[in-house]
Structure 1
Amino acid sequence: MTTHDPRRLAWAYLSRVAQGPHRVLRDFAAEAGPEGAADAVSRGALGERLQVRSHIDTAQADLDLVASQGGRLITPDDDEWPMWRLLAFDGAGMPVGNDQCAPLALWVLGAVSVAELTERAVSIVGTRAATSYGEHVTAEIAGDLAIDGWTILSGAAFGIDAAAHRAALGVGGSTVAVLACGIDRAYPSGHSRLLHRIAQTGAVISEYAPGTTPAKHRFLARNRLVAGLGSAVVIVEAGWRSGARNTAGWARKLGRPVLAVPGPVTSAASKGCHRMIREGEACLVADAHDVVAEAGMAGETDEGRPSMFREIDALSESALLVYEALPASGTLSPRELSDVSSLPLATVRSVLPLLELDGFVASDETGWSRVART
């Protein structure tokens, strides 16, 4: 048995007693410290909900169990605490209910710093009943983002979540699974091997103490962390009534872009995405380039993608007519350009110097010609 720091033992105790988000307790711990908060809980000073569980002190055993599995408890005291990601929970306009706050602490499997993993991360979620189309699109988007250095965040569920995690792992990228139960439990059980692989290069995290079983309300609370720890939330396939919309709702509360991938109009699996796009709840995206355009940091470029616009689209109508009247090779005189473009000669002569100044045309003793543009 390892001897743990009293402060960390206090955090572990609070995590066990709270069983999820608890704003009053979190705020009190921030002011009085975890040991002061633990003392207040044990005396029944912070409300009945905490008082009825205050006798459950398994902090030492919880820390030992997680340590035996190669995990740890991280708290606001630690350098790897994703502080700037979680600040959004205290932002303007956020509800003040007990379940609308940042976690007290996070239980983690995986050696990489959580702050480092979430520095540049995108959350990808969707239906458990994914189609082959949804899994393909998810793999393309998640794989391309992971290759570019983005961490892929999801909830380790069947369907879209699993496809996102596997795509990141498949290209040697980082991925984080956020669970709605203790990190010592593989949920779903069929993803035991997947969760082990995630922990090897990324992280498996939860705000719930070891041994905690999954429950509907915990999945809903988990969704806020999936939304908050990423730069954006991408929805790939979601039914008309989808849990992914709950994650999208959290993203909007936290100021994160919500992005949705459209599917075939005949697909029931994409009705939720189409609804969010139509009602302005989400921005339509088709690939990783679209995601980076919304989630990337200011000044981050999207190299290698052809522009949707041509340089000549900025030309005036007259300038465009003159430019397009020029042959791909060879030259024309102003008079010939007037005939081809159907513009008055005076207009042609006034436009040509402007086109030359902008680098679209050049002139020599034989006339005017196009300039090859890269």
Structure 2
Amino acid sequence: MTTIDDPRLARAALSWLVEPGNRWVADAIINPGPVPTANMCLQDTEGHSPLRPQVQAMHPRERLDRIRRLQDTAGEHNIRMVCPYDRPWPGWIDRLTDLPETASLGRAAPVCLWVAGTRPLSEVLATAITVTGARAATTYGTTVASELCHDLALTGRTILTGCGFGIDTAALRATLATGGGVPVAVTAGGPDRPSPAANARLLATVAERGLVLSAYPPGQPPFRQRFITTSVLLAALGRAVVVVEAGLRSTTLTSLGVSKALNQPALVVPGPVTSAMSAGCHATLRSHPGYRLVTSAADILGDLTG
């Protein structure tokens, strides 16, 4: 039969059938629960549930076959699934579901997380500070990001960031360079689909020394809308967000807004007034008095403890 009866498989199924962070799913897994919700989506051929477009055209049996193969794919890539009732689950991410939709950009907490790396998830993330910013970063931006992450990592703080070029890459490299720093990278696709591909070796090292995690199951590619979801996750998983360089339309600024909505520090590094890569940072500081300007690791830690 094309049905699911295991709660863990149901959550894995939902992470594949529906885009992670869906509010309808977040409500449905509370009542009637993950298994009925997964089966409802699995059997849906009439468009009654928010299936991903690629899934809608599939027969329910093909959907179930794909879902069952997820576990094999995850095992091949040493990826584990962590659910809300598992000890390593970072419970504070569930606050996303309690935010107004306007504050979370319509996102809720994911039904599960897919993790590459052996470190305990909640323990690593308990001290995490999100440092992110422009992909097309300047030398100024990557230098500042590297110094901040190096200094923060030396204090025992986990560095949480994305997987993109620019500030994210600088943050990961600087954390690894400390020798004992713990980097965590959040991907906009499955943990087995490094993006950009040029960072594949870097992300493999991050998985060995820290963690690579995602709300998306193995095999899923990244695309623009998923980068927005990842920006929301970066804010919800960290204890503060620091943005180093961002253009006026950068999705990176999403993380700042969500962090502020969660009553966490939303911190911005200033840049040259002539730099387009700092225009988003400056506009944010000017428009939102609740955001804080920081220039050093000491500033960041002061905002966390103050």
Contact 1:261 1:284 (8 Å CA) reproduced: yes
Q: How does 1:301-312 map to 2 (within 5 A)?
A: none
Q: What is the match of residue 369 of structure 1?
A: none
Contact 1:25 1:46 (8 Å CA) reproduced: no
* Among 210, 217, 222, the residue aligned to 1:209: 217
Q: Percent identity?
A: 38
Contact 1:19 1:209 (8 Å CA) reproduced: no
* Among 231, 244, 266, the residue aligned to 2:239: 231
In 1, the alpha carbon distance for the partners of 2:279 and 2:119 equals 37
In 2, the alpha carbon distance for the partners of 1:226 and 1:97 equals 12
Give the C-alpha shift of residue 253 in structure 1: 2.4
Q: Match of 2:7, as an amino acid?
A: R
In 1, the alpha carbon distance for the partners of 2:69 and 2:17 equals 14
Q: What is the match of residue 88 of structure 1?
A: 95
Q: How many residues are aligned here? A: 293
SS in 1 for 2:32: helix
Contact 1:24 1:46 (8 Å CA) reproduced: no
Contact 2:131 2:161 (8 Å CA) reproduced: yes
Q: What is the match of residue 332 of structure 1?
A: none
In 2, the alpha carbon distance for the partners of 1:46 and 1:95 equals 25
Does 2:276 correspond to 1:276? no
Q: What is the match of residue 71 of structure 1?
A: 79
Distance 1:197 1:97, change over 3 A: closer
Contact 2:185 2:203 (8 Å CA) reproduced: yes
Q: What is the match of residue 138 of structure 1?
A: 145
Q: How does 1:154-193 map to 2 (within 5 A)?
A: 154-171=161-178, 172-193=180-201
Q: How does 1:197-346 map to 2 (within 5 A)?
A: 197-280=205-288, 282-296=291-305
Distance 1:293 1:33, change over 3 A: same
Q: Match of 2:250, as an amino acid?
A: S
SS in 2 for 1:31: coil
Give the C-alpha shift of residue 163 in structure 1: 0.5
Q: What is the match of residue 34 of structure 2?
A: 34
Unaligned runs of 5+ in 2: none
SS in 1 for 2:274: coil
Distance 1:227 1:96, change over 3 A: closer
SS in 1 for 2:33: helix
* Among 102, 111, 117, the residue aligned to 2:109: 102
In 1, the alpha carbon distance for the partners of 2:29 and 2:59 equals 15
In 1, the alpha carbon distance for the partners of 2:95 and 2:7 equals 26
SS in 1 for 2:191: coil
In 2, the alpha carbon distance for the partners of 1:82 and 1:101 equals 14
Contact 2:189 2:214 (8 Å CA) reproduced: yes
Unaligned runs of 5+ in 1: 299-374
In 1, the alpha carbon distance for the partners of 2:236 and 2:99 equals 15
In 2, the alpha carbon distance for the partners of 1:15 and 1:155 equals 20
CA deviation vs aligned residue, 1:319-363 (integer Å, no higher than 9, x gap) = xxxxxxxxxxxxxxxxxxxxxxxxxxxxxxxxxxxxxxxxxxxxx
CA deviation vs aligned residue, 1:166-200 (integer Å, no higher than 9, x gap) = 11111121111111111111110000011001101
Q: Please give the TM-score of this superposition, normalised by the length of structure 1.
A: 0.73
Q: Please give the TM-score of this superposition, normalised by the length of structure 2.
A: 0.89
CA RMSD, Structure 1 to Structure 2 (Å): 2.3
In 2, the alpha carbon distance for the partners of 1:6 and 1:92 equals 29
Q: What is the match of residue 10 of structure 2?
A: 10
In 1, the alpha carbon distance for the partners of 2:105 and 2:253 equals 21
CA deviation vs aligned residue, 1:221-249 (integer Å, no higher than 9, x gap) = 11100111011110111122222212222
Contact 1:21 1:98 (8 Å CA) reproduced: no
Point out the structure with max Rg over C-alpha.
1
